[in-house]
Amino acid sequence: MRTVALLVLLPLEALADDFRPEWNVLYGHEEFRKAETMLHDHLAKVRAAADQDREKVIGNVRTPAELQKYQAQTAARLQAVLGEFPPRTALNAKTVGRLDRPGYAVEKVIFESRPRRSARRPDLRPDRGAQ
């Protein structure tokens, strides 16, 4: 039964390749031959160029003063892209559970990442008596 289904479907698939939708404006243009990967390929080229530029800049950093200058420039660029950082607020952290393990403890902590926005995280604490 599978063989019959394959024999019927294979010619249909070949016929489907012959029918090109008239609304496909990219069909027939050589520069759009690989349209499905154009965006990915473009972004890969942009990223490779940015990585190359970054490597040149980092490769020229020789002194701590130059490093601090690079860090300040990078932080300023990042802030220009992201905008102003939100003001710092109290975390209002609460420990809601504790799991004691040999040599350490896992504390379950809930805190406010932003006002009225809770987040959870495990906090690993060494057991002071086990040292």
Give residue-wise pLDDT tens across range 88-116: 889 999 999 999 999 999 999 999 988 88
Q: What is the pLDDT of residue 130?
A: 53
Q: What is the pTM of this model?
A: 0.44
Specify the higher pLDDT residue, 32 or 61.
61
Mean residue pLDDT of the chain comes to 83
Rounded Cα–Cα distance for residues 48 and 45 (Å): 5
pLDDT at 8 over 90: no
Dist. CA 99–CA 122, nearest whole Å: 10
